[in-house]
Amino acid sequence: FCIFQMDTTQESYLDLFPLDAIVYLTPDSENVLEDIDPNKVYVLGGLVDESIHKKLTLQRAQEQSLQTARLPIREYMVKTVNTKNYHSETLAINQVFDVLSTYYETRSWPAALKAGVSSGKGYVLPD
């Protein structure tokens, strides 16, 4: 059982941390997050919007000259056959947080992805 301390501030992460320490998590990144580096600051690239804007968080990170990464969903999970033929690697902020916190505890991407990626996203762990 982990407890996380969270501080809130009006200041931008760009003013609080060195640029080379920030990793902006976005499903559109070409870089796969392979491990969590305790010396890095991970920004969950979130949008407060019900629609999915392709590459918007990636574009924002690039404009700020930040490193980017995506969760290793397609590396560890497989697409399911579903009636809507729907497959999405875009997760809600709480789902990304669940994945990251579970990975931090277990050091297992399958366990972490199972904890945060709902079957409604069209991905499951292989049998």
Pairing of strands 41-44, 67-69: unpaired
List the beta bridge partners of residue 123.
Answer: 79
Distance of CA 49 to the CA centre of its chain: 17
Residue of 7, 15, 35, 49 with catalytic role: 49
- CB 92 within 8 Å of CB 53: no
CB within 8 A of 40, min separation 6: which ones? 21, 22, 23
Q: Is 49 a catalytic residue?
A: yes
CB 115 within 8 A of CB 12: no
Q: Show which residues are catalytic.
A: 49
